[in-house]
Amino acid sequence: MKPPKISPRIAVYGLGFVGKQLAGFALDKGWDIVGAYNRAGDKVGQDLGTLLGREAIGLLVEDCDHADYSKLDADLAFVAVSDRLEDNLISYQRLMSAGANILCHGAESCNPFRLNPDVAKKIHALALQHKVTFTGGGIWDMTRIWAGILSVGPNISINTMTHTSFTDIARQGVHLLRFCGAGLTVDEFKAKDVAGGGGLGGIAIIPPLCVVDALGFEVKDVKEQLEPIIWEEDHQSHWLNETIPAGHVIGTRMKVDISTVEGITIRNCFEYRDFKPDEVEQMIWKVEGEPSMEIRVVREASHLASASSLFNRTPDVLSAEPGIKELWKYAPLKPSLFL
Amino acid sequence: MKPPKISPRIAVYGLGFVGKQLAGFALDKGWDIVGAYNRAGDKVGQDLGTLLGREAIGLLVEDCDHADYSKLDADLAFVAVSDRLEDNLISYQRLMSAGANILCHGAESCNPFRLNPDVAKKIHALALQHKVTFTGGGIWDMTRIWAGILSVGPNISINTMTHTSFTDIARQGVHLLRFCGAGLTVDEFKAKDVAGGGGLGGIAIIPPLCVVDALGFEVKDVKEQLEPIIWEEDHQSHWLNETIPAGHVIGTRMKVDISTVEGITIRNCFEYRDFKPDEVEQMIWKVEGEPSMEIRVVREASHLASASSLFNRTPDVLSAEPGIKELWKYAPLKPSLFL
């Protein structure tokens, strides 16, 4: 069951924490990177290898808004810019028009037709036109979505599915801990609209909606509620190198209830926050039904798991039919040891 | 992604704990049961419905050694007799010759070519001859095998995979706790050869070998070591309704080390034993590599999970190509709500 060796020509669009890891994985495989793009700033004009802290590879990072994509000859482009399809659309247009398949790290890209049907239709049409495939993914692939699908595999009946998770969000970049409100007062949390559409609003509905769609349930209603996480004692944050006072915000709690026509309720509680020293990052799917089971994923060294999960979808996307193909329509993620 | 409705004609071969559950699930779906077989004894001649504690259905249980299989018109037969392919072969011959696809609950049937290549070749040839599919499964499907495959999905490198599990074995039938040595002295454990080929020898190598084959690793060496589990204090067994004295056997510990050509070591430790009141049944796959993660399956109400896991493979087997098809060559198990 070893996959055939592949050697795709790669483009990387967005060279933040995740994009740089993706570029590094591709170089480690000996794959050619033929395009690297970032927004204007000091990364533009640098050699990609140098930017990664490696030897120069003779490829300069280009300004994404002024590059000539007509010259791009990539089989696959990794996009790691924004969680929102609307913000990413311009990158998809640039890359797919040049004939590149897309693997996108944005949260909404896991389930475009649910999250933004209008943009999804545009992406799908463009992908069909250029005979390329569009797939979104990242750390949710195995740890939330496939774990959820698997959790009910033995079931002949299901009453409820409950997804509870605790994420040490700064592992994916310290700025994300600030994005989740850490260090703010409750008033600032509200004023900055951390829970709004420019913040974390609409994010936690994504993994359970992927599980629901994979299992073929019909959604009746989706309720989402976000709130600041507050502790009663001071917290010394090693990520922020500061003390967050008691009563200030440690992160954001996202509660999502999905009811279905089948009468199955899917309850979710995500915590994106700072961690105490002895806590472990874990995602739990608990099933009540026949049988009742629980799958718990403990993410010990997960700082590279989001990039590696997306990277490991490479052979799937290269051999898929054109159009949007969501990650649950492939087989579960496989390691990339043999690629 | 809802599967199409199916209505297969079912045979059940072996009406112990698991076979009776399988028959019940099929009746609950409204599927016709057209054959029910058991070894000679008081189950033979009873109405299958009555035997299940339900209304009579007008189908009598037949003696498996004297039934006329030429009259059987089943799409699928569930076999739940022995863990060993050699012992089950006669049932496969009888049922496949009558044109039935096979779902077998025996442990070795999960990976026939690894566990008994000679018998596997016979099964495969017979399946091809009669254009039917042979698949083995049960509770290991999701909880050990697919959980193990999934655990390394995000990995770009793997150093070790460690599978640790604690099974409250009597949930699948109290006789199995005795089979694992519970209540014996250590001398009796040895004299009765609990760890031998007629006991638990060769059982714990099966799930990790399935994971290894699914991932495409090349096996260099398999080491297995079995030992009695002994506690230092008396144990009140609620299953056996007796006290197991300190120093007597509580169950069996099975250690398996698999080394691979790829340099990845797969370590396993299975405990099949009695439980203390506050223990939970759990199966853990811990991965050391890039990234390091852990998947833990907690089996809360697992008494029917072995039968339901096998049952839920029904649509897969009915639509598969002829021959032996191992469970990791399908998609992961899906619930049977919509069948």
Give the pairing of strands A10-13 and B249-260: unpaired
Q: Answer yes or no: do B292 and A309 touch at CB < 8 A.
A: no
Give B109-146 pLDDT, tens digit per residue.
Answer: 999 999 999 999 999 999 999 999 999 999 999 999 99
Q: Answer yes or no: do A143 and B293 touch at CB < 8 A.
A: yes
Would A335 be classed as within a structural domain?
no
CATH code for the domain of A171:
3.30.360
CB B246 within 8 A of CB B232: yes
Sign of CA dihedral B137, B138, B140, B142: positive
Q: Nearest chain A Cα to B218, which residue?
A: A2
Chain A nearest C-alpha distance from B24 (Å)? 11
Cα separations in angstroms, B65 against A309, B19, B74, B94: 52, 17, 18, 10
d(CA A171, CA A276): 14
Number of domains in chain B: 2
Would A338 be classed as within a structural domain?
no
Q: Answer yes or no: do B301 and A291 touch at CB < 8 A.
A: yes
Identity of residue B204: A
Q: Answer yes or no: do A297 and B301 touch at CB < 8 A.
A: no
CB B38 within 8 A of CB B15: yes
d(CA B313, CA B135): 9
Q: Answer yes or no: do A295 and B296 touch at CB < 8 A.
A: yes
d(CA B299, CA B281): 5
Is the Cβ of B154 closer than 8 Å to some Cβ of chain A? yes
Are residues B183 and B120 located together in one domain of the fold? no
Q: Answer yes or no: do B291 and A303 touch at CB < 8 A.
A: yes
Q: Answer yes or no: do B155 and A336 touch at CB < 8 A.
A: yes
- Taking contacts as CB-CB distances below 8 angstroms, the residues of chain A near B168 are none
Would A196 be classed as within a structural domain?
yes
Is the Cβ of A172 closer than 8 Å to some Cβ of chain B? no
Q: Answer yes or no: do A154 and B295 touch at CB < 8 A.
A: no
In a mutagenesis test of the A interface, which of B21, B156, B284, B308 is the best target, namely the one with the most A β-carbons within 10 Å?
B156
Give the pairing of strands A281-290 and A157-168: antiparallel
Is the Cβ of B263 closer than 8 Å to some Cβ of chain A? no
User: Residue B224 is encoded by which pair of tokens?
Assistant: 């297995």
Q: Answer yes or no: do A304 and B291 touch at CB < 8 A.
A: yes
- Taking contacts as CB-CB distances below 8 angstroms, the residues of chain A near B167 are none
Would A54 be classed as within a structural domain?
yes
d(CA A245, CA B324): 62
User: Residue B24 is encoded by which pair of tokens?
Assistant: 């019940």
d(CA A181, CA A64): 29
Is the Cβ of A155 closer than 8 Å to some Cβ of chain B? yes
Q: Answer yes or no: do A291 and B297 touch at CB < 8 A.
A: no
Would A259 be classed as within a structural domain?
yes
What interhelical angle do B117-129 and B85-97 show, nearest 10? 10
Q: Which domain holds residue A30?
A: 10-138+305-329
CATH code for the domain of A82:
3.40.50.720
Is the Cβ of A305 closer than 8 Å to some Cβ of chain B? yes
What would you report as the CA-atom Rg of chain A, rounded to the nearest whole angstrom? 20
User: Residue B26 is encoded by which pair of tokens?
Assistant: 């099929």
Sign of CA dihedral A101, A105, A111, A113: negative
Would B4 be classed as within a structural domain?
no
Is the Cβ of B159 closer than 8 Å to some Cβ of chain A? no
- Tokens 């718990």 sit on residue: A296
Instruction: Using pLDDT thresholds of 50, 70 and 90, give the confidence band for residue B197.
Output: confident
Listed by number, the residues of chain A in 92-121 with a beta carbon closer than 8 Å to a beta carbon of chain B are none
Is the Cβ of A150 closer than 8 Å to some Cβ of chain B? yes
- Taking contacts as CB-CB distances below 8 angstroms, the residues of chain A near B142 are 150, 153-154
Which region holds residue A305: left if phi is over 0, alpha if psi is between -120 and 50, else beta? alpha
Are residues B85 and B130 located together in one domain of the fold? yes
The pLDDT score that the predictor gives to residue A1 is 60
Is the Cβ of A66 closer than 8 Å to some Cβ of chain B? no
Are residues A235 and A278 located together in one domain of the fold? yes
Are residues A134 and A147 located together in one domain of the fold? no
d(CA A78, CA A22): 8
Listed by number, the residues of chain A in 174-213 with a beta carbon closer than 8 Å to a beta carbon of chain B are 213
- Taking contacts as CB-CB distances below 8 angstroms, the residues of chain A near B305 are 154, 291, 293
CB B31 within 8 A of CB A244: no
Would B84 be classed as within a structural domain?
yes
- Taking contacts as CB-CB distances below 8 angstroms, the residues of chain A near B300 are 291-294
CB atoms within 10 A of CB B197: 10
- HSE-up of A170 (CA within 13 Å, CB side)? 17
Across all residues in chain B, what is the average pLDDT?
96
- Taking contacts as CB-CB distances below 8 angstroms, the residues of chain A near B292 are 300-301
Chain A nearest C-alpha distance from B167 (Å)? 14
Would B3 be classed as within a structural domain?
no
Least Cα distance to A337 among B289, B328, B147, B295 occurs for B289
d(CA B171, CA B238): 11
Are residues B158 and B291 located together in one domain of the fold? yes
The pLDDT score that the predictor gives to residue A303 is 83
Give B10-36 pLDDT, tens digit per residue.
Answer: 999 999 999 999 999 999 999 999 999
Are residues B19 and B151 located together in one domain of the fold? no
pLDDT at position B5 over 90 = no
Chain A nearest C-alpha distance from B150 (Å)? 7
Phi, psi of B337 (to 5 degrees): -55, -40
Residues of chain B above pLDDT 90, percent: 95
The pLDDT score that the predictor gives to residue A258 is 98
Q: Helix/strand/coil (H, E, C) string of B255-316? A: EEEEEECCCCEEEEEEEEECCCCCCCEEEEEEEEEECEEEEEEEEEECCCHHHHHHHCCHHH
Are residues A56 and A124 located together in one domain of the fold? yes
Is the Cβ of A5 closer than 8 Å to some Cβ of chain B? no
d(CA B335, CA B339): 9
Is the Cβ of B318 closer than 8 Å to some Cβ of chain A? no
CB A17 within 8 A of CB A24: no
Strand order in the sheet with B249-260: A219-230, A249-260, A265-273, A157-168, A281-290, A292-301, B292-301, B281-290, B157-168, B265-273, B249-260, B219-230
Instruction: Using pLDDT thresholds of 50, 70 and 90, give the confidence band for residue B303.
Output: confident
Are residues B166 and B251 located together in one domain of the fold? yes
CB A26 within 8 A of CB A77: no
The pLDDT score that the predictor gives to residue A301 is 75
Are residues B66 and B133 located together in one domain of the fold? yes
pLDDT at position B4 over 80 = no
d(CA B37, CA B287): 43
CB atoms within 10 A of CB B67: 18
Query: Burial level of B55, CB count in 10 A (0-12/13-18/19+)?
Result: exposed
Across all residues in chain A, what is the average pLDDT?
96
Is the Cβ of A316 closer than 8 Å to some Cβ of chain B? no
Q: Helix/strand/coil (H, E, C) string of chain B? A: CCCCCCCCCEEEECCCHHHHHHHHHHHHCCCCEEEEEECCCCCCCCEHHHHCCCCCCCCECEECCCCCHHHCCCCEEEECCCCCHHHHHHHHHHHHHCCCEEEECCHHHHCHHHHCHHHHHHHHHHHHHCCCEEEECCCHHHHHHHHHHHHCCCCCEEEEEEEEEEEEHHHHCHHHHHHCCCCCCHHHHHHCCCCCCCCCCCCCCHHHHHHHHHHCCCEEEEEEEEEEEECCCCEEECCCCEEECCCCEEEEEEEEEEEECCCCEEEEEEEEECCCCCCCEEEEEEEEEECEEEEEEEEEECCCHHHHHHHCCHHHHHCCCCEECCHHHCCCCCCCCCC
The pLDDT score that the predictor gives to residue A197 is 85
Q: Answer yes or no: do B156 and A303 touch at CB < 8 A.
A: no
Are residues B283 and B318 located together in one domain of the fold? no
CB A75 within 8 A of CB A67: no
Q: Nearest chain B Cα to A296, which residue?
A: B296
Are residues A55 and A107 located together in one domain of the fold? yes
Give B320-336 pLDDT, tens digit per residue.
Answer: 999 999 999 999 999 99
Q: Average of pLDDT values for B49-70?
A: 98
d(CA B262, CA B78): 37
pLDDT at position B1 over 70 = no
- Which residue among A141, A143, A156 sits closest to B25, beta carbon to beta carbon? A156
Omega before residue A291 within 30° of 0, cis: yes
Give A114-162 pLDDT, tens digit per residue.
Answer: 999 999 999 999 999 999 999 999 999 999 999 999 999 999 999 999 9
CB B242 within 8 A of CB B259: no
- Taking contacts as CB-CB distances below 8 angstroms, the residues of chain B near A156 are 25, 28, 304, 308, 311-312, 335-337
Are residues A63 and A156 located together in one domain of the fold? no
Chain B nearest C-alpha distance from A24 (Å)? 11
Is the Cβ of B157 closer than 8 Å to some Cβ of chain A? yes
Is the Cβ of A165 closer than 8 Å to some Cβ of chain B? no
Q: What is the pLDDT along chain A (339 residues), one digit of tens a residue?
A: 667 788 999 999 999 999 999 999 999 999 999 999 999 999 999 999 999 999 999 999 999 999 999 999 999 999 999 999 999 999 999 999 999 999 999 999 999 999 999 999 999 999 999 999 999 999 999 999 999 999 999 999 999 999 999 999 999 889 999 999 999 999 999 999 999 988 999 999 999 999 999 999 999 999 999 999 999 999 999 999 999 999 999 999 999 999 999 999 999 999 999 999 999 999 999 999 999 999 999 998 778 999 999 999 999 999 999 999 999 999 999 999 989
